[in-house]
Chain A
């Protein structure tokens, strides 16, 4: 199954750059007679497809980890307010025109990361203080934090000038169209790779956390430490992705669930499956988004939300039959 998924992801990764409003055939790879098409391929399509893969992977893996730690099928970067936190952080950076960079990573990403951490700490604290992780409390806390951050974001937009407002608004819709250069990929790549490695390192811990914190402790998991490391890794990935692409919703919800149906709940298999499928999934969505209304294009965040909304409702309605009985 994993091999099939890997094959699927590779096919998508290799095929997507050649699909689009302008016809670019694979011949461009070795035949440089049309420099325009060469540019489209190397400067626009390929960076964008790579970015879509990274973003999809980062969001999907984070969703998977949140679902295990919160023991809740509805936990995702989006529903937990982590995406809004990261958005706010990035918007603050845009608004105040911060342009410093630390360790080669720009201010927008750092602030998005900080926002993501803040959101997860708030939601976790709120859910925790009400004892247990019932869906109700967690979703409520996530929505509350989300609204709070969104309203600050609106305030920021109100205070900004016209160009900045447009930039923020367009970016909040979630899209990949502003990725044109390789250096943005280099901003995100280390974060997603590091986050994925951490999660891959903790697959056994994720399995045990999914059975409950007490049982995990009894089996030898250092629960507090594992959770802090996981939250940190997820915030890193979500922050990095959101800083470049905006909050692309529902990838973290749909992908892990589809993968659970394909390979089962064991995180040793689920993690690589989610990793592969998350990337491929977002590439497909993005390819659709940029071709369906050519020559203009749809923000991919709107497309994933259109797919994800009904999916979310379906999960909510049938979840009593599954692993969340509370």
Chain B
């Protein structure tokens, strides 16, 4: 559906392992994210998806192996420089300081601020652009804690966009949203990918969406990469069963003919 990603790697992960206390969360993970690509990361709960995203943005530090961002080892970046290349949209968080939307989006410009200086014209333009693109300009002066989950998710994405990074990491961007907001966020991400050329790495539980939206899918299970490939390759019962450890029912989509996952019918209610 989208234009092809270029062959140049934005992020290369080679044999990366990470443990929290004594528990191994990631084990020998290797894959690359190409520039302009839309990559989804799927897998069961506790597979290490979120941890992996946090390692890429150095929210978690340490770990064995190598991560390169635009060819440069991750540990060689200053945090501010890294923020100019990679931005991060966290999972919905209930605890929020009562900043207004405009104040919060402006904070995305942190990597370009210098102390004691006022906000530059460039900062203001980046903030205005990000708010226009995400359609939140109308509630710029509302407080974050008065927004609905869907609106708040857009604000978080806008702040990440204001950061001006090429790579956008998203942690379950649509999980807690209703259908309309899910569609809006999905369209927004697709637009960012095709029109603005953003490289998108999204963790998600919705394999159907991942298959229709992304160029490639990486699946993790217990910290191991168990699948890495095209959406049509993951949409097979035995592949999905291997990832999630449960059985799947697939039917062809009425319009595209690609297989989609449909829910099992409980035993006994089948005709």
Contact = CB atoms under 8 A, between A and B. Distances in A.
Do A and B originate from a single complex? yes
A318 interface: no
Nearest to B81: A220
B39 to A, nearest CB: 18
Interface residues of B, number: 34
Interface string B75-91: 00011111110111010
> Which of A201, A202, A207, A220 has the most chain B CB within a 10 Å cutoff?
A220
B220 to A, nearest CB: 20
B46 to A, nearest CB: 17
A17 to B, nearest CB: 32
Interface in B46-88: 54, 57-59, 78-84, 86-88
B179 interface: no
Given A265-B97, A266-B99, A221 B90 contact: no
Contact of B113 (A204, A218, A325): A204
B100 interface: yes
A302 to B, nearest CB: 32
Contacts of B57: 217-218
A220 B110 contact: yes
Given A204-B115, A211-B99, A323-B97, A221 B79 contact: yes
A222 B111 CA distance: 11
A208 B79 contact: no
A208 to B, nearest CB: 6
A219 B103 contact: no
Contacts of A325: 94-95
A31 B193 CA distance: 77
B110 A71 contact: no
B83 A218 contact: yes
B54 A71 contact: no
Contacts of A68: 97
B100 A264 contact: yes
Interface string A206-236: 0110111011011111100000000000000
A71 B97 CA distance: 8
A265 B98 contact: yes
Contacts of A214: 54, 59, 88, 90
Given A323-B98, A323-B145, A212 B107 contact: no
A162 to B, nearest CB: 50
Closest 4 A/B residue pairs (Cβ)? A220-B83, A218-B88, A220-B80, A220-B111
Interface of A: 68, 71, 200-204, 207-208, 210-212, 214-215, 217-222, 264-266, 322-326
Interface of B: 54, 57-59, 78-84, 86-88, 90, 93-100, 103-104, 107-108, 110-111, 113, 115-116, 145, 163
